[in-house]
Every structure is written in C-alpha cells, then in structure tokens.
Structure 1
Amino acid sequence: MVKVILILIVIVNLSFLISFVIDLFKNKKEISKEPGNNIVLAITSFIIFLLSTFGISDFAISTVLYRKLKWVSDKKLPGTLNTQCVIPVAVMALSYISVIKVSIVTLAVCIVAQVIGAFIGPRFVVKLPEKTIRIFIGIGLIIASLLILAGKFNLIPSGGTATELTGAKLIIAAILLFIYGALNNIGIGSYALTMATVYALGLNPAVSFPIMMGACTFSVPVGSMQFIRFGQYSRKITLFTSTFGIIGVLIAVYFVKSLNVSMLQWLIVIVLLYSSISMLYSELKSANPDVK
C-alpha cells in the first residue's frame, strides 16, 4: 500500500511537471522578462521551503515577500502560490512517508479525506463568513498550543507516541481533515491544523508531517495545472522554487527525522502560535486599516 501511494504521488506530480515544462518551453522568452533577481530567488526559494517543511506556511511567507518585492502581480499571486509548491511538497511527501513510521491505514484515510474536502467542501464552506472562520481557527490554534505547553510543564497529562488511529479517533481525524481540505480553498492552510489534530488525538507529533504533506501533494497539482493552462502564474518563481526549494526540503527532512519528540513538540508550539497570531493579526488589520 505504501508503494501504491508513492507511485500515485509520482504519477500525479509528474503530470504537473510535464505541463509546467511544456509551458516553460512555449514561453521561454517571457521568463527572462519576469521580475526577480536570480540569486535572491534561489536563496528565498531555499528558505521558504525549508521552513515549509517544518509546517510554517509557504503561502503566508511567499505572499508577504512577493508583494513586498513586487515579483508578481496580485492577479497572478494565487496561481504562483499554488504552482511554486507542487514539486517541493511532492518531495516532502515522498520523504516523510518513506522515513517516518505511520500506519498506512491512518495515512490513506487522512489523505483521501482531505483530498475529498478540497474538491467537495468549498460549496459548503463558502456559505460561511470567512472572517468568522479565520477568527475561530486562530483562537483554536492558540488553545491547542497552550494545551501542548500545559503538557510540557506537567499541568495536564501529556503523551503521544502512537503511529496509528482506530475507531472513533480515526473517524474524527477523517472528518477534520475533510474540513481542512475545504478550508484550503479559502486560503486557510492545513499544516498547523493537522499538527494540532495529530497531537490532540495522541499520535506521535512526527506523524503530522507525512499526513499533511501527503494530503497536499494530491490536491494542489490539479488546481495548479489550471493556472498553467491560463498562464496565471509566475513561471520564473515556480522554476526556482521547483529546483532550489527542493534543497531546502531535503535538508529540513533530515533534521525532522533526527529530532526527538520533545523537540518536535516545541516546534509545533512555535508553528501553532505563529499561524494563529498571523491569522488574527491579518483579520485585525483588515478590520482596522490604521493598524500596522
């Protein structure tokens, strides 16, 4: 079953890669005209996806960076955010599924649930006020990080060494991953949410990595091929992230594999707090333009 998942990851992402390469050759003259210093692009691509491999949203970092440096227009930003992460995320998924022990049933159920949510969920999610969703998720992530800290300081029982879910816990995980897949479509990343869920259900914190990467590597390429089809993305940025971003991924994977559970718990707290504070700050700023 592991081999089947790995083969499917390769097939899905190879389809994207073929579309991307064909588009590059068709528009090779346009690539040199696109903004972005090659050296700076190489460095930022490495850093963005090194951090992304630890669960820190590449969408959030890239949005701030690309708009600040004026490397891509707002119209092409959504497409760029999606296309730039396809290959690096595929490498993440292949690496984590290979090096981190997790039940194949748990992994498959979570992946399928999030992919279904990514395609079916939006029709229901879009009916909810986006601001309300973001505020509740931001607060929820803060609570999740505080619970982890409480466990670290022995204020509440802590643990989490399991590598599989069964029964009610597996059903809960499937439902939540379905919701996270839907939320991805309105710009709410699933990485921190998956980390919080995995920890709350008693799994080893490291298990969140193959689950969250595996789910994304099946759903993102499909939408990205549509952005390529309509030319609504930065070819130059995607080219650099698809090469130098992979280096950042591979280095980060090595560190994650060698980190102990205690260190991963601290890392997850940092990721959750970063995600929640940035989300709530974004909402505060949109409601009060004077906030800096």
Structure 2
Amino acid sequence: MSAATILLIIMWVFAAVFFVVLVKDVVAHKDELDKSKMGYNVIVSMIANFFDTLGIGSYAIATSAWKFNKAVDDDLIPGTLNVAFGIPICVEATIFIQRIDMDPLTLVLMIAASIVGSVIGARIISRLDIMKIRVVMGVALILVAAITLCKINEVGPFGILGTARGLTGGLLAVGVIANFILGILMTAGIGLYAPCMAIVLLLGMSADVAFPVMMGSCAYLCPACGITFIKEGKYNRASTIPMIISGAIGVLIAGFIVTSLPLTVLTYLVCVVMVICAVMFFHDAKKRG
C-alpha cells in the first residue's frame, strides 16, 4: 500500500469522525437554526469550491460573497469556512494526491505541521470578539489579494521554476515550519493555497507538487480545527451541511469535467473584490461590533 493511499484512508476516517461531530451539534441546536440565507450559501459553496479545485482558492470568494450579502455573521466566517469546506477539500485531496508524484516524507511532514498549526490557531480565533475578527479578516483579504497578484504575474517565488519532488535537511525544516504557520493563518480565513504554492516554488520544488501539499494540508487541518469551531459554536449551523454537499459537487465538476478556463481576468476581479471587502471589514471594525 502506497503512502498516498494510507494518507487518503486516514484522511477519510478523520473526515467521518468530523462529520459525526458536526451532525450531532446541528441536531442538538436544530431549534435555533436560521435558514433564511441557506439557498444563497449553498450556491456560494459550490462556486467557491469549484474555483478552489482550479487553484484560485475558495476562502476569498466565499468571504467576499458572504460579506456583500451579509449571509454569514462576521464573527462566524472563519469557523464556517473551515467547517463547511473541510469535506469538499478532502474530495480535492483525493483527486490530486493520487495524480501527482511526490516524496512521501515531505508530504506527510508538511501536512502534519499544518494540522498542529490549525488546532492552535482555532483555539485563538474562535475566542476573539467580533471587532478583532473583522480586523483579522480585513488583513487576511489584503494579504491574499497581494499574494494572488504576485501569483498571476509571476512575481517573487511564483516566477521560480523548480524540479524537486521533495525536500531534505534544512529545506525540509523550513517547509515544515512554514506550513505550520500557514495552518495557524488558515483558521483566520487566510487561504493556504497561494502562500503554500509560493513556499513550494521558493524551496525549489516543482509547481505541480504544490497541489497535493496544499490540498492535503487543508483536507486534514480543516476537520482538525473545524471540530474546535463546532464545539465553540462559532460557525453557521443552518447552512453548513448543505454547503458541504454543494461544495463537493463543485469540486467534482471542476476535477473531472473542466480541463481549462481563462482564469486570469477572473482572478484579477477576485482580487479587486477582496480589497473592497477588506475595506468594509475595517469600516465595520470601527463600530466595535
């Protein structure tokens, strides 16, 4: 049995446990569910996870959509992102971990580091008040917009072409530490994909290696930190399970039907929307909740 297969088996066992915890929490609070924005959130999840599979990322798209329509309360956005998108990302990881050859040790260590980071991050983020959440989300969107612009213009590490399929020695340590930090930031709504790709390229690995690393990391860390958000009640209970279903459908459509799309213009548009939403978060933060 290959390392990739073992990783996927463990991942889905963990995802199953996560889903049971989620269902129990939703059922326990069934009389408190606000379903007014459920239809909108289901569509957002499908679209966001569709583009996530293509490498654009889902967090910024979903955050912007929720912010514009006020479909998810600001203080619930980080938790909703990690809880609702956890299983769709597992579907992504299943597709890409099997497709792309990578050094097993590098993959396992970087994924493990992101899990530890996410658990620590969730304990911090889930206890922040709404004003701090708004500030964190505003900063997150600005950072992701800047990194995404670097990505599509091949600025900095995005312009480096490597060939390595894994890391050793000091470079492996750097990769592990970096993914640990990204795991923490992931719980604040800062998507892991773009910065992870930058790290992979900067360390001299092939660009395609970024896909199993970033998708595998998120597939493990989202359920890991998601359980913390569930226990804290810091996520949108009413829409989460329907969003999981629609998000998984979006992933499958992108993964098996779509082969190529003209994404550059769309990515620029997403960056503009992210900046606008960041300004909105900072403006709302001044109201102190």
| TM-score normalised by the chain length of structure 2 | 0.75
Q: Distance in 1 between matches of 2:83 and 2:13?
A: 16
Once the 2 structures are TM-superposed, how far is the Cα of residue 88 of structure 1 from its aligned partner?
0.7
1:62 alignment partner in structure 2: 62
Q: 1:286 to 1:180 in 2, by over 3 A?
A: same
Helix, strand or coil for the counterpart of 2:74? coil
Q: Distance in 2 between matches of 1:83 and 1:43?
A: 16
1:2 alignment partner in structure 2: 4
Is the contact made by 1:162 and 1:203 (CA closer than 8 Å) also made in structure 2? yes
Once the 2 structures are TM-superposed, how far is the Cα of residue 285 of structure 1 from its aligned partner?
6.7
Q: Distance in 2 between matches of 1:141 and 1:37?
A: 29
1:266-285 equivalence runs, <5 A: none
Q: Distance in 1 between matches of 2:266 and 2:103?
A: 24
How well do the aligned residues superpose, as a CA RMSD in angstroms?
3.9
1:35 alignment partner in structure 2: 36
More divergent stretch after superposition (1-10 vs 276-285): 276-285
1:49 alignment partner in structure 2: 49
Answering whether residue 113 of structure 2 is matched by residue 113 of structure 1, we say: yes
1:83-94 equivalence runs, <5 A: 83-94=83-94
Stretches of structure 2 that go unaligned for 5 or more consecutive residues are: 129-134, 285-289
Letter in 2 for 1:240: P
Identity over aligned pairs, percent? 31
Give 1 or 2 for the bigger CA radius of gyration.
1
Q: Distance in 2 between matches of 1:80 and 1:108?
A: 26
Match of 1:233 among 232, 235, 242: 235
Q: Distance in 2 between matches of 1:113 and 1:243?
A: 28
Q: Distance in 2 between matches of 1:116 and 1:10?
A: 18
Residues paired across the two proteins, number: 273
Q: 1:112 to 1:49 in 2, by over 3 A?
A: same
Letter in 2 for 1:202: G
Q: Distance in 2 between matches of 1:229 and 1:5?
A: 26
Is the contact made by 2:162 and 2:204 (CA closer than 8 Å) also made in structure 1? yes
Helix, strand or coil for the counterpart of 1:72? coil
1:77 alignment partner in structure 2: 77
1:102 alignment partner in structure 2: 102
1:229-268 equivalence runs, <5 A: 229-254=231-256
Is the contact made by 1:122 and 1:183 (CA closer than 8 Å) also made in structure 2? no
| TM-score normalised by the chain length of structure 1 | 0.74
Once the 2 structures are TM-superposed, how far is the Cα of residue 282 of structure 1 from its aligned partner?
6.0
Q: 1:287 to 1:30 in 2, by over 3 A?
A: closer
2:191 alignment partner in structure 1: 189
Q: 1:143 to 1:244 in 2, by over 3 A?
A: closer
Is the contact made by 2:60 and 2:141 (CA closer than 8 Å) also made in structure 1? no
CA displacement 1:208-250 (0-9 Å, x = unmatched) = 1111111122222133223323433223321222111101112
Once the 2 structures are TM-superposed, how far is the Cα of residue 21 of structure 1 from its aligned partner?
2.0
Letter in 2 for 1:162: A
